[in-house]
Structure 1
Amino acid sequence: MQVILRKDVQNVGEAGDVVTVKDGYARNFLIPQNVAEIATAGALKNREQNLARIKAKQEKLHQEALELAQRIEALEKLELSARAGESGKLFGTITTKKLAEELNAKLGTSIDRKIISLDAAINKVGEFRMLIKLTSKVKTELPVIVTASEILQSEIEEAPETEEAAE
């Protein structure tokens, strides 16, 4: 089925594109979510009239994404501190939500966690890479360095003393 996309859809196309998708995907997801409309003669005519406006909007978003990518790359790295055991394994996992919160705090932006992807789960101390896909054409990578928090290391050292004192 041919549809006209109203919004950018990952792995399908950008707003204003006429794409062919499976009928079920169009009927059950794209159209009910108001992400696309069926490519009828009238809809195609409206698309042609609005094409200049859509392209201008996409260009503006592309420029904003490039500026944000430069600001992210200027950070050079994102350092996080988390509670970890002696072996370097974290108590929990650092999620894309946490990474987005840290980026937003440092840059003063509103980056959504859904545009951040990781090669592997961050569940130990070390260096990782995160890919930030700002638009379909603008992507940037940023190293994430995870260290064990100093507070926990001192707690581990003090813990045997307090246990002996309790006995």
Structure 2
Amino acid sequence: MATISSLALRTPCTWLGQFIGSGDGLGGMNPNPNPIKLRSRPLRIEANKRVKKIRQVILKEDIGGVGKIGEQVKVKAGFFRNYLLPYGKADLVSPRLLKEMEREKGRIEAEQRRVKEAAEQVALLLQTVGPLKVRRKSTPQKQIVGSVTSGDVADIIKAQLNRDIGQNNIIVPEITELGDYIAEIKLHEDVSARVRLLVLPN
């Protein structure tokens, strides 16, 4: 066993190394022959996955495969940034925009109601005014010379009722002789009128 005097004669580094290596702090008491081993764990590095950014937008026009005007849809941020926004096809959803869209929706609905009501009034007028008279040259067998077209009916309505109706909205049956016929007039998506045509000899 080493004495205190002999320890003092040794160099500090030698004495300290023996003291640590012996596993005790009291000259050999409570020896610990097995030094503590620190376990090292492998460092795991995971790459962050790119998160796809999505934008909630309101479409300002119909876009195939995306949606119709006025609809709220979710699109990729790049699609909105590079296409929809520069070309004025959509806006980001925001409280201000939603409020503006609600006001515009109310205005459009009010205008649609007004147009439909006006069409219903014209339909009622056409169906109560009596038959529209069309005069044509005819043969003794009551065969007419020429024809009766949708343009003819539009002109008669304009002359008699002072209403402008596009001839594309008027469906006239095939008329080959004098007599009574029915023409259908499309005044609105939801409003039509059936009008009597009375073909008379000129």
**Where on the TM-score scale, by shorter chain, does this alignment land: which range?**
0.5 to 0.7
Shift of 1:61: 0.4
Matches within 5 A, 1:99-118: 99-118=153-172
Q: Does the alignment pair 1:42 with 2:91?
A: yes
Of 121, 127, 146, the match for 2:174: 121
Could you say if the C-alpha distance between residues 85 and 42 of structure 1 is closer, same or farther in structure 2, counting changes exceeding 3 Å?
A: farther
Task: Name the counterpart of 1:135.
Answer: 188
Shift of 1:88: 1.6
Per residue, is there more helix in 1 or in 2?
1
Task: Name the counterpart of 1:146.
Answer: 199
Gapped regions of structure 2 (runs ≥ 5): 1-63, 72-88
- Counterpart of 1:144 in structure 2: which amino acid? L
Shift of 1:48: 5.0
Deviations 1:20-41 (A, max 9, x none): xxxxxxxxxxxxxxxxxxxx54
Per residue, is there more strand in 1 or in 2?
1
| Identity in percent | 22
Shift of 1:111: 1.4
Shift of 1:42: 2.9
Q: Which has the higher contact order (CA 8 A, sep 6+)?
A: 1
DSSP 3-state at the match of 2:183: strand
Q: Does the alignment pair 1:65 with 2:119?
A: yes
Deviations 1:57-94 (A, max 9, x none): 10110111111111111212112111111222211111
Shift of 1:124: 1.6
- Counterpart of 1:129 in structure 2: which amino acid? I
Of 141, 147, 156, the match for 1:87: 141
DSSP 3-state at the match of 2:188: coil
Aligned alpha-carbon RMSD (Å): 2.6
Task: Please give the alpha-carbon distance, in whole angstroms, between the structure 1 residues aligned to 2:180 and 2:111.
Answer: 37
Of 152, 155, 158, the match for 1:98: 152
DSSP 3-state at the match of 2:176: strand
TM-score by length of 1: 0.61
Shift of 1:49: 4.9
Task: Please give the alpha-carbon distance, in whole angstroms, between the structure 2 residues aligned to 1:47 and 1:123.
Answer: 53
Task: Please give the alpha-carbon distance, in whole angstroms, between the structure 2 residues aligned to 1:131 and 1:66.
Answer: 14
- Counterpart of 1:42 in structure 2: which amino acid? D
Shift of 1:125: 1.0
Which protein is bigger by CA-based radius of gyration? Answer: 2
